[in-house]
């Protein structure tokens, strides 16, 4: 993966004042509620640069990346999870893949997203339209992946993912995905909150948590001030006696590299290799759609690879 450095001076200095990207894991209310809070401001900025996204596209794919970070927290070892949305609205769809270790990558089907009128809010329901959300878990040691699918009910990644957990895994869940932009359109705070009922939890506990979530401050705004997700949980959910468990990494990362694309070129049919060598273009530029990395191959290198 070729990472594009952040050049915006204000943004670089701002990121230095923030808590590094991390997933903090808690248990609430006598170990009956699982809570994961995610700080992902740098991840979203790296994603935006690599995919060259505008504000609407950053908000849409950024929410999916934060959802991917949540899903990464539900697996372990070398497991990974794929979140896919196929829809009929202007977004068309998106795909995000996350590993248990915290690596997140993914892309939008449509860039830029078609906008027919000035945006009045970040309500994405009309941009998604009817469609499906699919979650696929590729678990270490299992020959077949586990796949669950639900129809899009809300046009909100957070609400539809919570709906997926309820329908496909019969688990009551609350999810918040939050991205804060400044007046210039920079992402200055981004985070996610994941609350899930564990065996033995009373229904009223989740109802009480839902009341807190509806009135709590914006997580993205809170993180943009330099405070941590850990601080957020301890402050907002203090009455639920949070017990801190561990910190897990999270970040924008893709396993693609130049060697993988070289192998792809050498595996092409002879006819296609001949066409490339005779017609070009030179350099031949290949793109990783998952992370936006660009890999140019000059004619001399192609001569060696394809002959």
**The model's pTM:** 0.96
Given a cut of 50, the residues of the chain with pLDDT beneath it are none
| Residue 187, CA atoms < 13 Å, CB-side half-sphere | 29
Q: Residue 280's pLDDT is what?
A: 86
- 286 CB-near residues (< 8 Å, 6+ apart): 261, 264, 265, 294, 295, 296, 297
Q: Residue 117's pLDDT is what?
A: 84
End-to-end CA distance of the chain: 26
Residue ranges of alpha helices (H) inside 169-282 are 203-215, 219-224, 229-236, 258-266, 270-279
Task: State the greatest distance between any 2 C-alpha atoms of the chain, in Å, as a whole number.
Answer: 70
202/32 Cα distance (integer angstroms): 8
- With 0-12 / 13-18 / 19 or more C-beta atoms within 10 angstroms meaning exposed / middle / buried, residue 128 is buried
Domains in the chain and their CATH numbers? 9-252 (3.55.30.10), 258-306 (3.90.1280.10)
Q: Residue 222's pLDDT is what?
A: 98
Q: What pLDDT digit, counting tens, does each position of 80-104 carry?
A: 999 999 999 999 999 999 999 999 9
**What tokens were used for 293?**
């990395």
Q: Residue 307's pLDDT is what?
A: 81
């Amino acid at each position: 993966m070729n990472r594009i450095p952040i050049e915006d001076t204000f943004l670089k200095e701002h990121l230095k004042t923030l808590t590094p990207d991390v997933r903090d894991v808690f248990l609430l209310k006598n170990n009956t509620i699982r809570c994961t809070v995610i700080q992902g401001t740098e991840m979203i900025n790296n994603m935006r640069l690599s995919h060259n996204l505008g504000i609407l596209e950053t908000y849409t794919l950024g929410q999916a990346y934060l959802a991917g970070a949540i899903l990464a927290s539900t697996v372990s070892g070398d497991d990974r999870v794929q979140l896919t949305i196929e829809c009929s609205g202007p977004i068309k769809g998106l795909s995000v893949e996350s590993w248990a270790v915290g690596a997140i990558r993914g892309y939008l089907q449509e860039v830029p997203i078609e906008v027919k009128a000035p945006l009045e809010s970040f309500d994405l329901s009309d941009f998604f339209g009817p469609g499906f959300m699919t979650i696929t878990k590729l678990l270490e040691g299992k020959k077949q992946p586990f796949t669950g699918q639900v129809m899009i009910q809300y046009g909100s990644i957070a609400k539809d993912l919570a709906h997926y957990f309820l329908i496909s895994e019969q688990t009551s869940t609350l999810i918040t995905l939050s991205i804060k932009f400044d007046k210039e359109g920079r992402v200055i705070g981004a985070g996610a909150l994941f609350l899930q009922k564990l065996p033995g939890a009373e229904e009223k506990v989740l109802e009480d948590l839902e009341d807190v979530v509806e009135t709590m401050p914006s997580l993205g705004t809170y993180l943009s001030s330099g405070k941590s997700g850990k601080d957020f949980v301890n402050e907002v959910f203090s009455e639920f006696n949070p017990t801190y468990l561990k910190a897990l990494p999270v970040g924008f990362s893709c396993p693609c590299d130049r060697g993988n694309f070289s192998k792809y070129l050498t595996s092409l049919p002879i006819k296609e290799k001949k066409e490339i060598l005779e017609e070009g273009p030179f350099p031949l530029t290949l793109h990783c759609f998952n992370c936006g990395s660009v890999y140019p191959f000059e004619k001399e290198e192609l001569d060696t690879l394809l002959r």
